[in-house]
Structures are given as C-alpha cells and as structure tokens.
Copies of this chain bind each other. A is one copy, B any other.
C-alpha cells in the first residue's frame, strides 16, 4: 500500500448537481416534507438565535413558535385527531426530526407536547380520550406534560413511587406522591405552560385486603388553571437554568391526594371496569409495562433523528470553514494551507461526516419501518401489529437513539474545536447545539441503559425473554434458555443480502474492498460478540455470586455487543443506499461507505486483532488506508455537506466571513 500524495487538496467549490442528487438520497421517502421545512422554517425568526437570550425570553419565543408550528398542516399530518386513524406517520416524524436543524428547544418543546404528551393520550388512551383531547393537543390549545421521571427513580421507571389509587366510593382515582423522591422531575411544559399532565403511577385497585398494585399506568391529571396557577393539591416548581434547551420550561410536579374521575385513566392496556375491578388485555404486569413503554418508540426515533440533524448543521459549518480557512503558509511562502489539507484535520471532520451519512440513512429506514408498522399495511391500519416486529423496531429505535446522540455529543464538540477560537463565539451556534443536544444522551432512555437493552434483545429471538426493562430481569436472564445469537438483516433487505451472498469470505484478503465483504466483516464481529456474551452469561448461571456482581462481570461486554450491532446496522443502510444508486452518486457514496468501514474497523482494531480477524500488518495498513481515503474524499467534502441540505439561516454566521 502506498501513501497517496496527489489530489489531496481541499475543495474550493462544491459540485452542486452532484450535491442535489445525493441530497435526494439522504432526504429519503419524505423529501418533500424536508423541503417544506427548509422553505417554511428556513429563516432567522425560526432558527437558534446567534446571541444568548434570557431564559424567560427564550421560553416565550419557543412557546410562540410551537403554536405557529401546530397551525401548519404538514407538521401535524401524522397526528390524526380521528380515533383509529394514524395519519402520515412517516411525514410527521420526518418533519419533527427536521426541527433538529432549526432549533433544539423548539424540537423538544414540540416533542413534549405532541410526541410524549400527545403520544401518551393517543397510544395509551382509548377512543373517548382521543375524542376529548387529541384535537386540542394537535392545535396547541391544550398544552400538557409527560410526567414519568421521578427524583428518586431516574431510569428505573418500573419502580416509580407515585400512586394512583382507585376509590370506588367516589369512582375517582387519587393521585399521590408519597415522598419527596416521588416528585416528578425535569418535566417539560411543567414550569409554565402545561395545564394537563399524563402522570405515570402505580395503579392500585381493590379495597382493604384485596387492594393490589397492577404496575405502572398513566392517568390524566389537570395541574394548572386558566390563569397559570397550580390547582389544589398540585405543587409545581421550576427547574430553573439548565445547560441548554433554554426554551423548554422544565419543572417539578408533586401531588397531594389529587382526585380525578376514573375516566382519566388511559386504559388501552389496563382499565378499571364499571364494577371497580381491574382488567387488562395483557396478563403479565411486566409485559404490560413493556407495551406501555413501547409508546416511547416515536420519541426515541425522533430524538435520534434530531440529534443527527443538529450534528449535520455543525459539520456543514466546520467543513465549510475548513475548506476556506488557511493556517500557515506553504514552504514557497506564496500561498496558505487550507485546514482541509491537513491530515489530522481531515480525520477529525471526515470520519464523523461519513458516520453522519450512515446515521441519516439508517434513521430514514427506521422511520419507514415505523411508518409501515403503524400504518399496518397488512391490516388496513386498524389491527395490532406483529409483536415481534414491534420489538425489533424498538430495539432499532434504541440502537439509533444511542448511536445518533453519542455521535452528536462527540462530533459537535470536535467541530467547535476544529474551528478554533472562532468556534467558541456564541454567534456561530456550536455552543447552543452542543448544550442543547447534551441531554439527548440521557433522556428518552439513558444511553448506557439502552445499550444493555439492545444487547439483551440481541441475545435471543424468543419473546418470553423480554419480560421487562428492569435490572432484575436482566440479571435473571442468565438463568433462562438463551438461544444462539443470530444476525438478522435490519436495513437494506434484499440488496444487502445479495451483496453478502456474492462476497468473498470474511477472511479473504480483499474482503474489506468488497461491499458485501464489508458487511460480512461487521456482521461477523456482531455475531461473535453476541455469541461470546451468551456463553459468558451461561457460564455465570451456575456461579453462586451476587447477581449484581455477575451483571457487572458482563456489563462492558453487553455494551460492546450493542455497539457491534449498531455499526452493522449503520453499514447496512449506507451500503444499501450506495448500491441502489448509479453514476457519480454511487461512486461518491461508495467512497463514503469505504471510509465508514475502514474507520470503523480502525476504531475497533484491537477487537479484530485479538480475535484473529486481522494480522498486525493488515491492521497497520487499515490505518494508512483511512488516511488515503480521507485524502481522496477531501476534494468532495463541500459537496458532501451541501448534500445535507441545511438551510442558510440555520448555519449562517460570521464564522465563514472570518475564514
């Protein structure tokens, strides 16, 4: 392998035709929605401000934007107020995700209102709730909260403390916070705007000896009157300043024996009958809990998508700066050296850039899957979709939520640093993107918790191993019958299948240069990692150790397995998009795909070496090849970021004038 020394310049112009063609690939099935967002929200009054606003002003701005946004039919297309109708879910999710380009406070505020609060009413409620509330939620006249997280519980939702106790004497439900730890925390819309809260609580039904908790359910509780005052028994407070998301009014809510009618129970998965007894279509408390949390899947898809969008903003700005900005002069003293001519600078920007391509394409596939599943192509949209398909979707939503948000945190930081002192000025927005998206690694499922959930999902195809999210189940899991691991094609379907079928074996010398071979290599890593994880868990089964210690012994391995899975998912989406293209698009995407694969293998070089997948010489050659591919891709870097289709108003700033 030789070092590529020619053609290594930085780009000065972008091939706009090619960028447009690639943009159509990246925009995906709902490209028209993306164009609408670019057109309708592509102005400074929508985008993240370039000077910091006081929290009160930012909140007012975001609340105003939300109500204007909810008046747009294209925004709420997926949120039908008609009972039983789903609307165009894919269009709605695409519009929602695109808010990540515009302003993340607006994205989260909208997500709280429509995705979480609205999603709880739509997904956990039944027809009468839909009739009563969905129209107001969709047009913004009824602003609400999604009151799940508690001070004490954090990620441990199954064990939250708030109670919802049925009182047959009055046919009411009594919602109560039994301790300070039961206070609902970080709740969006709680500090200022919300009037109704979807409260997650342990539902207790039955009198005296017969009283029994049926696990977590969701109850609608009015929290504020029309003058913004807390209702009797409800205590509301303001979380105050956060690292980011200044436009979102997060607050705390606690309840002192607050009474609501029985009808306020969102009773799709668990109801209180007219006779005052509990009834549910799902027998197991654990599986019911899991089904209810399943309504979070849209939120996870969207958080991942919006993190991806914000990251593409940051990359657009940093690559444009790197293509224009000169630092130091050539030895001839005549001309400057542009940042993108430096090998270290190419690495810091182009490696995240190609990963952003893979993430965007995989997220598109996920949105399509969710759309198809929700629309229920097979049953006219009315029936319940296949449970296994739902779980796979949830696993992929968790995977891409982690992948997108971890990538955002790392990449936006890298982009800031790559723009030097200029990147530190607030006016260029790196600070806002970083601060706003920072919490994305934590909310809608903490990434570390989700990675373990993903790993658990990989361990078996048998649904009875999936009882619940909690640690107890994870720890007891080792005692169950663990099926052999398997790799199931997630994205790209038949295209990727065909690639792999025609590929050289993973051990062939040219496997990394062949598209199918590339997929086979990442599949092999996933398969091996999951299989050895299963073996370790089985081995621990006989051990007489503390289950927490036993979990500890495999936890880093679980995380590694989840990442191996994620990398494979991303490659499938990128490879499928590449192989479905033609001409210059296919050629350029092919180089993007190559760099993604080589850099992923390089990132995990120790695994490939430790498991005999690469020799020392091959491993070194891969590093060299990453440098070469970066040099080959650098002249097209501007085209690649132009293809992201980020509106000027979202990234326009003084930084480029300085370059």
A345 to B328, CA, bound (A): 43
Cβ of A380 within 8 Å of any chain B Cβ, yes or no, is no
Contact between B430 and A417, CB atoms less than 8 A apart: no
Cβ of A76 within 8 Å of any chain B Cβ, yes or no, is no
Interface residues in A, total, Cβ within 8 A = 91
Interface residues of A in 323-379 (CB under 8 A from B): 325, 327-331, 333, 337, 341-345, 347
A543 to B329, CA, bound (A): 20
B-chain residues with CB within 8 Å of residue A330 when the two chains form the complex: 472, 547-548
Contact between A243 and B426, CB atoms less than 8 A apart: yes
Give 3 nearest A-B pairs by CB, closest first. A605-B606, A243-B431, A328-B471
A550 to B627, CA, bound (A): 12
Choose among B471, B556, B611 the residue that contacts A329 (Cβ–Cβ < 8 A).
Answer: B471
Identify whether the interface residues of A are mostly helix, strand, loop, or mixed. Answer: helix
> What residue of chain B has the Cβ atom nearest to residue A602's Cβ?
B606
Choose among B149, B471, B476 the residue that contacts A421 (Cβ–Cβ < 8 A).
Answer: B149
Residue among A409, A425, A616 with most chain B CB within 10 A: A425
Contact between B344 and A239, CB atoms less than 8 A apart: no
* Partner-contacting stretch, out of A3-11, A196-204, A383-391: A3-11
> What residue of chain B has the Cβ atom nearest to residue A539's Cβ?
B3
Contact between B627 and A416, CB atoms less than 8 A apart: no
B-chain residues with CB within 8 Å of residue A623 when the two chains form the complex: 556
A623 to B548, CA, bound (A): 19
Cβ of A631 within 8 Å of any chain B Cβ, yes or no, is yes
Interface residues of A in 396-427 (CB under 8 A from B): 409, 413, 416-417, 420-421, 423-427
Cβ of A553 within 8 Å of any chain B Cβ, yes or no, is yes
A546 to B343, CA, bound (A): 14
Further 15 A-B residue pairs, CB within 8 A, beyond A241-B425, A330-B548, A331-B475: A5-B545, A5-B550, A52-B55, A149-B421, A154-B325, A156-B328, A242-B424, A243-B431, A244-B424, A329-B472, A331-B476, A337-B471, A344-B555, A409-B413, A606-B609
B-chain residues with CB within 8 Å of residue A427 when the two chains form the complex: 240-241
Choose among B155, B439, B609 the residue that contacts A619 (Cβ–Cβ < 8 A).
Answer: B609
